[in-house]
Structure 1
Amino acid sequence: MAPRRIAVAAALLGGAVAGACYRSVRTIRQVRSLVRLREPRPSDVPPAAVTVVVPARDEAAVLDACLRGIRSQSYGARDPAALRVVVVDDGSTDGTGDIARAHAAADPRVAVVRVEGPPPGWTGKVHAMHAGVEAAGAPEAGEWLLFVDADTALGPELLARLLTTAEEVSADLVSTPGGPPPERSAAWPLLMPPGLQMIGENASPDGRGARAFAIGHCLLLRRSHYDKIGGWSALAGLRNEDIAIATAVRDHGGVTRTVDGLDHLATTGMDPFSQGWASFRKSFVAGTRQSVPVLLGGGLGQIALSLAAPVAVLAGARSGRVPLVVLGAVGWAAQGVAHVHTARAMRTRPELAPLAPFTGALFGGVLIDGAVRVLRGTASWKGRRGG
């Protein structure tokens, strides 16, 4: 290769490594902005009423654990009227409805609503959550709404801690991701750190970016702000509903924060690996509104930026360009440090930091897979198109 071409290639590699370093620094700042979950405070004030809405479509394998966790919350234990639960059976074809009705029979705080899929203009999960709020009623729903995915398991203090945290940081919406599944699937350590990085680049955990960050696993929202934004009806056709509602709350004068509640909430939605891959694919297909150019560009860009550092080290070593080796090593180390921060935040394996460029490239495959499925018309979630 001619010296000029070598210089150009080295410059391009150097630019890519610099970009990877910038991403790593930004990721570390984003992770540090997560709010620590506060301990509940004893109080003589009657607890605020909370309605928990659980959208469930073919969730028979996990719904029982979810509802047991909700019913076991310490919050409102002395005042049953403080906590209500609405399970929305969204056209399930398994035993989801039977499990929900068994819990309703055992606990008067639990109600079950059956819907047969979304009407035109609505996406499935958004319509199910809307139906849950409507079933709870306007004044009866209480001061707070908690939306919880059926594939989560709540620790007994989660709700009390979320409410205390929201009050202490003056937030109108708080959300937390779930912690790793008990089986510790391969998807969690391999996909979660780069996935958190990519989501955080498009939305801010402190709500100050172009879009506010939120996680649909567990989302607590003041009822007054839910009404202020027009409820789920205002977001009827969206599939990235968590970030959309957080951004809407922020844009209507509310305060949104992402909190670290992983020690009090677990999710099974990333186990096994194929399910974790599909979950991330669905999120990015939804977030890009099924844009094939964005998905392909994002996937290829993710692969290029992730692998730039090891390629620079290899190219520099082969050509005898020590500065390129050093630059690549710095970029590799920066990605590793970012991995350590994201891995610790998500309760996974920081010791995989040396593999960060390669797990980052692997995640690029999630986006490319999403683009391929959109092109083929096979992008779906829970048997419904588009997710």
Structure 2
Amino acid sequence: MRPPIRRALVVIPARNEAATLEECLTSVEAACALVGIPASIVLVLDACTDASAAIAARHPLVRTVTVGYRNVGRSRAHGVDAALAGVREHPSEVWLAFTDADGTVPRGWLAEHLRAARVADAYLGAVVPVLDDLDADRRGVWEELHPPGATLGHAHGANLGVRVSAYRASGGVPPVTTAEDVRLAARLRESGAVVVSTEREPVITSARLRGRAPHGYAGYLEALAGESA
């Protein structure tokens, strides 16, 4: 058994995600309300020029920080630093949960993270695109490539959690513009963290084909067209 988690911190990077941000924040608030420990939400607005700030202002439980990195790795790391400011619990008793502003989390999402924390230092969760928004060919390929268990062990920034002590021991989120989630997972494993993965309580993410991060999940979905040829 690992040390009990006494506080949860949710970090969400966003860059011009006004179209999905309201639903995202509402879903995260609902997930936080279900757990029996203090849980706070930090939204990192990175070079946003849309209505994201105004949408966030309608959510008084969400703390907003503004940066101009245009870099998702730096945004995530900045969000962690902001979330940890003033936290007094021991780092081994604080859980970081990451998601993205273009998705929604199920009500049991954070509770699933905390269940994993009973035996682990880090958690890799599943993501599922809005399948109805994919064209028939891409949807068919996605479903063929994702039978139960197919994504276990894969890292997605939209559904990743880590104990603060393990986060610090790994060196944290690297300051890269893409694949920061994959690299963080690799750092955690290399540092000796106990990492678990599950497909329970998946995050529903956008099915867009043009994303903010080069070669990110949107690029993966776009490339599915070639798989169907």
Q: Normalising by the residue count of structure 1, what TM-score does the alignment of the two structures yield? A: 0.49
Q: For the Cα contact (< 8 Å) 2:131–2:139, is it kept in 1?
A: no
Contact in 1 for aligned 2:156/2:181 (Cα 8 Å): yes
Give the whole-Å Cα distance in 2 for the aligned partners of 1:138 and 1:223.
13
For residues 217 and 171 of structure 1, what CA distance do their matches in structure 2 show? Answer: 19
Which residue of structure 2 aligns with residue 363 of structure 1? 227
Partner amino acid, structure 1, of 2:19: A
Pick closer, same or farther for the CA change 1:97–1:141 going to 2, 3 Å. farther
In structure 2, what is the equivalent of residue 222 of structure 1? 163
**Correspondent of 1:265 among 203, 211, 214:** 203
Listed as ranges, the matches of 1:278-289 within 5 Å are 282-283=215-216
Specify which of 91, 116, 123 is matched with residue 174 of structure 1.
Answer: 123
Change in 2 beyond 3 A, CA 1:154/1:83: same
- Quote the residue 2:84 is aligned against: 137
Select the residue among 109, 128, 142 that pairs with 1:192. Answer: 142
- AA partner of residue 225 (structure 1): A
Percent identity (aligned)? 26
Residue aligning to 1:86: 42
Contact 2:31 2:110 in 1 (8 A): yes
Bigger helix share = 1
Query: Could you say which residue in structure 1 is the equivalent of 2:73?
Result: 126
Shift of 1:225: 0.8
Superposed displacement of residue 74, structure 1 = 5.5
Which amino acid is the alignment partner of residue 114 of structure 1? T
Q: Which amino acid is 1:147 matched to? A: F
**1:55 is aligned to 2:6:** no
Which amino acid is the alignment partner of residue 265 of structure 1? V
Alpha-carbon spacing, 1:281–1:59, altered in 2? closer, same or farther (3 Å): closer
Report how far residue 146 of structure 1 moved.
Answer: 0.7
Partner of 2:186: 247
TM-score (norm 2): 0.80
Bigger relative contact order (CA 8 A; separation at least 6):
2
3-state DSSP of counterpart to 1:72? helix
Closer/same/farther in 2, CA of residues 141 and 185 from structure 1, 3 Å limit: farther
Tell me the SS of whatever aligns to 2:216: helix
Greater share of residues in strand: 2
Q: Would the alpha carbon gap of residues 150 and 174 (structure 1) be closer, same or farther in structure 2, given more than 3 Å must change?
A: same
Correspondence 1:250-329 to 2 at 5 A:
250-261=189-200, 263-267=201-205, 269-271=206-208, 274-275=209-210, 282-283=215-216
> What is the alpha-carbon distance in structure 1 between the residues aligned to residue 116 and residue 163 of structure 2?
13
- Contact 1:239–1:286 (Cα < 8 Å) also in 2: no
Shift in Å, 1:131 = 1.2
Are the structure 2 counterparts of residues 185 and 66 from structure 1 closer, same or farther at C-alpha, using a change threshold of 3 Å? same
Q: CA deviation at 1:247?
A: 0.9
Report the alpha carbon displacement of residue 279 of structure 1 after superposing the two structures with TM: 8.3
Letter of the structure 2 residue corresponding to residue 176 of structure 1: G
Over 3 Å counting, the alpha-carbon distance change for 1:175 and 1:141 in structure 2 is farther
Instruction: Give the Cα–Cα distance (whole angstroms) in 2 for the partners of residues 237 and 47 of structure 1.
Output: 29
Structure 2 unaligned runs (5+)? none
Q: Is contact 1:57-1:91 (8 Å) kept?
A: yes
User: Which one has a bigger Cα radius of gyration?
Assistant: 1
Task: Give ranges in structure 1 of 5+ residues lacking alignment.
Answer: 1-45, 119-123, 207-212, 288-298, 300-358, 366-387
Give CA-to-partner distance per residue, 1:25-51, whole Å, 9 cap, x none: xxxxxxxxxxxxxxxxxxxxx862011
The 1-side partners of 2:101 and 2:217 are apart by 20
The CA distance in 1 between the partners of 2:130 and 2:204, in whole Å, is: 6
